[in-house]
Structure 1
């Protein structure tokens, strides 16, 4: 069995980073981490698809990226939990800017609720977005990549360990995504598709800050002493929190030919906090 991954050892560095002629689709790409990823991939020359539940926000982000980086860009509405929505949105995007060569599964949620109080509906919704959404995206990407490509799954340090109280569904879903990344790499390698994970620690985005504030309120209401909770900085070895662009640059590495020899790994982008 031949595996269609070229040896790019003789290619100059600039060409290894150049994504010109490729199309990158980013789920949850209208703001926060997804938007930072889309910006860096566009800067590297890729055509961009911003896929988001909020169609207006995705279209606005696409317009801004097109104006800033002068690359073909489109915004589409996509519900990653719905395979039909993923297929329709991808069809629309392919017509506008081309079928994806790079697919970034970034969309995710992390409601905070204790295991005892968490409803079945909340548990299922977390897995629907965080895990089934990755499966739906990777499957659709594989159907559109007959000549190969790259799938990047945004995991989390929660895919390596337990984390704050109230996040049992989130931690479980991210462990599942880390395992899925390995299995997808195995299954899709003969098709020339590399699959990598990127696991950030907490980074301050609009969604993350809102959800973190809500989680702190819930813990306070439950009588948990917040002074005993570790801060986002407590385990950083670089003296600061990571930023969305810190993570976006790791995703760019994964999506580019710089990482050609890699598949199945999940890269920790965590300022050393899981050591």
Structure 2
């Protein structure tokens, strides 16, 4: 079977960066990092389906971005850990947009506790969303991409997929290491179908969800007698500032566009040098 990835060496940068005519699905995108990713994809011309547990926020975010960038936008509720819910979201994208070209697995959980205090339920919940959710989204996206000639799947990993930087993060670190492995294995399976799979690994970025989750984790660690670093040192930046959601969104745009057509299976560190 031929591998249907074109040589785009003669294309201008404007065409390589453009997502005009493409259909993107972004999970966990009603706010924060996911919304920033959806905004950059829409700015590049992609129609966007925003998935979130909060249907009203998802619809509001999609309407806002569609109006701002002149693309089609749709928001829907979906639980990324539930197969039927993910299938329904994928089918909605096909019904409304005619297919799926880009799928970004952004939805994630960051509740953590010291290993000896961690419940079975917490462990299972983190893996259900962070790892199972990434697999289900990738599988359902790939099934539909295969019918239309290919596409790109982007998994939001984390620097926690490369290291265990702080105590109290056993479930999160383990789940994100798994997503890095998932990215590699899916790339191997899906390349013959014209589907690229890339990971993007941000360091800590202060979003609404991350700030709240980090505070809860620090409180749980303190209750167990474990000292956690303050929030302002969770990102060991070498560029003189903490990253923003848009810093990460621009890397995702690169991964989703034809600028990165030679790449699959890699996880790109968007970490301000933290992992050096």
Return the TM-score normalized by structure 2.
0.96
Report the equivalent of 2:258.
257
Report the equivalent of 1:173.
175
Deviation at 1:198, TM superposition (A): 0.2
CA distance in 1, matches of 2:9, 2:112: 46
Secondary structure in 2 matching 1:176: helix
CA distance in 2, matches of 1:268, 1:227: 22
Report the equivalent of 1:129.
129
Report the equivalent of 1:266.
267
1:233-263 Cα distance to aligned partner (Å, 9 max, x none):
4x21100011000000000000000000000
91-100 or 259-268: which moved more?
91-100
Residue 220 in structure 1 maps to residue 202 in structure 2: no
Deviation at 1:99, TM superposition (A): 1.7
CA distance in 1, matches of 2:231, 2:29: 30
How many residue pairs are counted as aligned between the two chains?
Answer: 274
Conserved? CA contact 2:115–2:170, under 8 Å: yes
Conserved? CA contact 1:76–1:93, under 8 Å: no
CA distance in 1, matches of 2:4, 2:228: 52
Report the equivalent of 1:91.
91
Deviation at 1:224, TM superposition (A): 3.0
* Alpha-carbon distance change, 227 to 38 in structure 1, aligned in 2, over 3 angstroms: closer
* Alpha-carbon distance change, 90 to 47 in structure 1, aligned in 2, over 3 angstroms: same
Conserved? CA contact 2:83–2:136, under 8 Å: yes
1:138-158 Cα distance to aligned partner (Å, 9 max, x none):
000111112100000000000
Report the equivalent of 2:108.
108
Paired residues for 1:28-67 under 5 Å: 28-67=28-67
1:140-189 Cα distance to aligned partner (Å, 9 max, x none):
01111121000000000000011221110100000000001000000000
Paired residues for 1:97-246 under 5 Å: 97-146=97-146, 147-226=149-228, 231-233=233-235, 235-246=236-247
Deviation at 1:97, TM superposition (A): 2.4
Segments of 5+ residues of structure 1 without an aligned counterpart are: none
**What is the RMSD computed on CA atoms of the aligned residues?**
1.4
CA distance in 1, matches of 2:195, 2:229: 46
Secondary structure in 1 matching 2:24: strand
CA distance in 2, matches of 1:27, 1:116: 31
Deviation at 1:228, TM superposition (A): 8.4
Conserved? CA contact 2:145–2:195, under 8 Å: yes
CA distance in 2, matches of 1:140, 1:166: 33
Return the TM-score normalized by structure 1.
0.97
CA distance in 1, matches of 2:63, 2:151: 25
Deviation at 1:219, TM superposition (A): 2.4
